[in-house]
A = this chain, B = another copy of it.
């Protein structure tokens, strides 16, 4: 498992969907399953558009001051002309309504610079997610030429924070290294007007076909009933995607390998899913639910692992209380690795989403923050950040959970469209869906089960 993680991260590196490294990673994973004696296949799905950053540069200028500032394009940022886009750089505070009111007409046609807090943990990350959509909406509403986030990571570490509009975005959006953004803010607040010239070279393209890799160990008693354990193999490319989500991807491969090695025979079919396109609107798992629509009634469980290598403390059980006792029984063999506390709320943000919105029982492993938050989507998400010992313990927990549902004596029913509608109305699901740019598709009936 450790050798796999090193090959995937150090060898293949960052692997955004649609990049050559992404193609290589999925071929590599297919080979790992086959090497382990596990049936595996590449399953195509449709990506609605290509988005890759080729390069990003920026220069800040004022009277008697010029400096280059490292930047990266945020996901789905538009590019600029090769000569760059030059516009005033203005201090938009934290990007609140009050901040824009204070800026007044100065936001129009300008790059708005948004100050951030240090991102220290998962709470900080979730705060960022919650705010990002609002911040973007206000920037667009104020007529800004583009949006510049101060990096929430220390010094000059950069990250691609997910933006909320997906391919529908029509503005250049970037993150600027914290030190340079702090310098720009001090100058602006000291009364020095600044301009920013941003050169964002973006490779974009039309819809194309990408692949998930699905390994399968067929059930001995109920082969047509399916338990999915999944992690996404795609990653952003500033770092090499060790925590997000190489570690859990190689864990999924390794659980398949161990089951095969021990010649264990699950009652139900287990599918080991390495999703693609997760970082770009969860498209791989969405594609799977479309391609396997006829089988979804027989999907007993879909679990996702996507929060690095911190200790698994329990699961998000998708707002379905009946899952909790079953899960408790599944975890009994690994009780010593607990305690486990389950959060019975629906979670948006990873590959459980389309299963959940199809009414299929779903789990997302909840994990201690460890170093996941600070390295999230960042240049620093590298092999050396993975806690290999805890990853091994997490593999035991994930294996027990998967095995529990694969051998369960009954099935949990699929939820109806009406039940899902109630879930959306009675929780904060809609807000989360907006943050991850999947709400409109739900409302339009294009994604998820609608009445």
Which one of B65, B379, B383 contacts A11 once the chains associate, using CB atoms below 8 Å?
A: B65
Chain B residues with CB under 8 Å of A186's CB are 6, 10, 383
User: B6 touching A384 by the CB < 8 A rule?
Assistant: no
From A179, which residue of chain B is reached at the shortest CB distance?
Answer: B382
- B-contact bits for A152-163, CB 8 A (1 contact / 0 none): 000111000000
Contact with B along A137-162 (1 / 0, CB 8 A): 00000000000000000011100000
Q: Which residues of B sit under 8 angstroms from A13, Cβ to Cβ?
A: 65-67
For A11, list chain B residues within 8 Å (CB).
64-65, 187, 192
Give A384 to B183 CA distance when docked, in angstroms: 9
CA distance A183 to B6 in the complex (A): 9
Tell me whether A24 and B64 are in contact (CB under 8 A).
yes
Report Cα–Cα, A451/B223, bound state, in Å.
95
B179 adjacent to A239 (CB under 8 Å): yes
A380 at the interface (CB under 8 A from B): yes
Verify A183–B10 contact, CB threshold 8 A.
yes
A384 to B11, CA, bound (A): 37
Smallest beta-carbon distance A10→chain B, Å: 5
Mark out the residues of chain A between 281 and 298 whose CB falls within 8 Å of any chain B CB in the assembled complex: none
With A156-B156, A156-B157, A157-B155 as given contacts, are A379 and B10 in contact (CB-CB < 8 Å)? Answer: no
> Given A64-B11, A157-B156, A190-B6, does the pair A183, B240 have CB atoms closer than 8 Å?
yes
A411 → chain B, closest Cβ, in Å?
Answer: 43
Contact partner of A182 (CB less than 8 A), chosen from B12, B182, B384, is B384
Contact B240 A10 (CB under 8 A): no
Please report the total number of A residues contacting B with Cβ < 8 Å.
28
A residues 221-264 in Cβ contact with B at 8 Å: 239-240
Q: How far is the CA of A9 from the CA of B182 in the complex (A)?
A: 12
Q: Give the residue name and chain of the B residue nearest to A20 (CB).
A: B66
Tell me which residues across on chain B come within 8 A of A24, comparing CB atoms. Answer: 64
Task: List residues 185-239 of chain A with CB under 8 A from any CB of chain B.
Answer: 186-187, 190, 192, 239
Give A12 to B9 CA distance when docked, in angstroms. 40
Q: In the complex, A383→B65 CA distance in Å?
A: 15
For residue A30, give the distance in angstroms from its CB to the closest CB of chain B: 15
**Interface pair A179/B380, CB less than 8 Å apart:** yes
> CA of A6 to CA of B191 in the docked complex: distance in angstroms?
12
**What is the CB-to-nearest-CB distance from A125 to chain B, in angstroms, rounded to a whole number?**
18
Interface residues of A in 97-147 (CB under 8 A from B): none
In the complex, per-residue mask of A374-407: 1 if CB is within 8 Å of any chain B CB, else 0:
0000011011100000000000000000000000
Give the top 6 A-B pairs by smallest Cβ distance, nearest first: A179-B382, A155-B380, A10-B183, A10-B186, A11-B65, A13-B67
List 20 other contacts, CB 8 Å, given A10-B183, A179-B239, A182-B384: A6-B186, A9-B183, A10-B65, A10-B186, A10-B187, A11-B64, A11-B65, A11-B187, A11-B192, A12-B65, A13-B66, A13-B67, A155-B155, A155-B157, A155-B379, A156-B156, A156-B379, A179-B380, A182-B383, A183-B383
